[in-house]
Structure 1
């Protein structure tokens, strides 16, 4: 099957997800408080079986879920994605007791997860983490430092926290810990951000953790982080594609109905060509996202580069499409409550989180040059 081809049942499922998002999830999202975890919304995602699919489906299914939900309800998409991002390290690298303790709650929507990687001085450069795990006896540490820009903080029930266990070792000296929110010394505060979903900072003052809290292996936490991001980066692109498609469809409807200069807005060649460009870029981004996800599911080589390309192209494309949609709608799109006003605020953040666009370009270049060195290696 070509990487860009969807089966009829997948197309039908995407339609069902859009309907569920519009009819059952959006009303709950509208009742939520911006900047806070919407637990009724998370619970409904669990009731619909979508959270469980985070752990039973592949990367392509994840992309289809995120794209479809984003089209009709970005808040539902984000709630689902944050559950997956925070809990995937437990699913993929956790011990049986860790998985049994937390994953059922994540799946049913009763336990909220968070992925705590970024710090005030270590956002895009994840290997520069300074939050430190100080030894506190055999198999015991105390976590001290700060995390920042953490989605679902400070309201999550548990965090995947990345801390430095070996000073001066760069990426090789980081360990991932599963830290319940009620651990002594763990506090947090919400941050007032442009996008409406919950983001906060965490302060860790000698928070106790043990070998039972380690995800994966000691000093191998960077592998946990990158393994998670390689899965979720294409799906960030899918989130962006869903927003771009919503903006494009709104623009098609508006330009077909809007009277301007003795005809409809769509009759102006400059407008028609702009809409065509928006559609072209959206479809190209969608195909790259699907191709990257399919490569991940197939265990194909070059997944980090493919994932970076998909996230980069899709997020930059969505920014362009939403911006052009606002321009073609005019002042009405700037009013609070308008779909495009909402998308305009939502679309900016994905170009930064889970690796800024500049970081994605660096990953792509690194992968390309690694391929060149392999080709030029002496035989």
Structure 2
């Protein structure tokens, strides 16, 4: 039985525990998810999550926009990830893909897209990464050139989640108001906009819909710009400031599932006439896994709670949560594989799937080394004041 005691922590309000419990029950009755066709699986997941109301927290209500509840987002991702990585992916991208609209979109932009993404009737994507600028967003080279009442988009985006199945993209391009980070702007555009093509589909060790997008004279109206010209970097960082913590929550969900699988294994498997759980070395593994899970949870929900209390930025807290939760989840899952012996590396086993799922979380939305830079700069800045 998964540990639920953390829902009583003072980080949460009663509605948070009720949401997590209800979503957990919904996923328990969801049925098997076909990982052989990730496009179809993600379309189905978005549709069913939306139809039953679980996507509502991913974006602001256009009729009554309120700050995103980061604790609800994190609890959702942790719960979904514990059940299935694709379920977490489908949920997360609805939020990340429309985060810029929730935080900075015009009334018309929000009214057009958010009712669709919140109900699962449209799939969203966040197009930031480029072939030559991954974590170094300020050096993005994709251009948006003014052309009367329009902009012409030219360039490439790569490693774009939901690329190829999304109905709407939020993307970032250089409009030239200044050098580096000062010259980027954000746009929203439908996937069927002429000049946008799927250049390549990308395969990974844990399959998800991923693609490289190519823009060739892609013409969008000026009304497609999110916020003001030159605000793109600020918008991207504000979105990541919210959703980076949720990546940590997904890693926490993977780690909790790995710990549950390990506990089931060692309490049922016998070696030389005694349960694995009776061996001190096995107990040491379990102790370390449990410690890592709880420590990660504290960092995740501290960051989420801090943002929900109105902090304008939580870059330091989010970086700590993402760095620790993703790195430690990797260790927890590796220990679970070890405790399963040969079964741990058999294709189709839960811990084998978790082993493949966790690795990407230490890279996307800011690699672990980037998080260390953010944390160090924050500490040095505080020391200088």
TM-score by length of 1: 0.93
* Equivalences for residues 167-182 of structure 1 within 5 A: 169-182=179-192
Partner in structure 1 of residue 63 of structure 2 = none
* Equivalences for residues 32-111 of structure 1 within 5 A: 33-34=37-38, 38-55=42-59, 57-111=68-122
Aligned residues: 370
Partner in structure 2 of residue 229 of structure 1 = 240
* Equivalences for residues 57-206 of structure 1 within 5 A: 57-137=68-148, 139-166=149-176, 169-188=179-198, 189-206=200-217
Q: Which moved more, 1:2-11 or 1:182-191?
A: 2-11
Structure 2 SS opposite 1:327: helix
Q: Which moved more, 1:113-122 or 1:64-73?
A: 64-73
Query: 2:93–2:125: 8 Å Cα contact kept in structure 1?
Result: yes
Q: Which moved more, 1:364-373 or 1:184-193?
A: 364-373
The alpha carbon displacement at 1:10 in A equals 3.1
Partners of 1:88 and 1:311 in 2: how far apart? 18
Partner in structure 1 of residue 21 of structure 2 = 15
Query: 2:104–2:227: 8 Å Cα contact kept in structure 1?
Result: yes
Gapped regions of structure 1 (runs ≥ 5): none
Partner in structure 1 of residue 250 of structure 2 = 239
1:86-130 residue CA offsets vs partner (Å, 9 max, x unmatched): 011112111111111111110110100000000111111111101
Query: 1:234–1:311: 8 Å Cα contact kept in structure 2?
Result: yes
Partner in structure 1 of residue 219 of structure 2 = 208
Partners of 1:170 and 1:217 in 2: how far apart? 16
The alpha carbon displacement at 1:190 in A equals 1.4
Q: Would the alpha carbon gap of residues 327 and 53 (structure 1) be closer, same or farther in structure 2, given more than 3 Å must change?
A: same
Partner in structure 1 of residue 362 of structure 2 = 351
Partner in structure 1 of residue 319 of structure 2 = 308
Q: Would the alpha carbon gap of residues 167 and 119 (structure 1) be closer, same or farther in structure 2, given more than 3 Å must change?
A: farther
Partners of 2:219 and 2:371 in 1: how far apart? 35
Query: 1:37–1:197: 8 Å Cα contact kept in structure 2?
Result: no
1:52-96 residue CA offsets vs partner (Å, 9 max, x unmatched): 122355111111111111111221111000010001111211111
Structure 2 SS opposite 1:217: coil
Partners of 1:319 and 1:4 in 2: how far apart? 27
Structure 2 SS opposite 1:218: coil
Partners of 2:88 and 2:118 in 1: how far apart? 15
1:248-270 residue CA offsets vs partner (Å, 9 max, x unmatched): 01100100111113311111101
Partner in structure 2 of residue 259 of structure 1 = 270
Query: 1:35–1:190: 8 Å Cα contact kept in structure 2?
Result: no
The alpha carbon displacement at 1:11 in A equals 3.0
Partners of 2:80 and 2:331 in 1: how far apart? 20
1:138-191 residue CA offsets vs partner (Å, 9 max, x unmatched): x42211110000000022111001001117611111000101111111001311
In the alignment, is residue 220 of structure 1 matched against residue 231 of structure 2? yes
1:311-361 residue CA offsets vs partner (Å, 9 max, x unmatched): 111000111101110011011121121111111111000100000001111
Partners of 1:92 and 1:282 in 2: how far apart? 31
TM-score by length of 2: 0.92
Query: 1:144–1:207: 8 Å Cα contact kept in structure 2?
Result: yes
Query: 1:4–1:290: 8 Å Cα contact kept in structure 2?
Result: no
Partners of 1:281 and 1:4 in 2: how far apart? 20
Q: Would the alpha carbon gap of residues 31 and 269 (structure 1) be closer, same or farther in structure 2, given more than 3 Å must change?
A: closer
**C-alpha RMSD over aligned residues:** 1.8
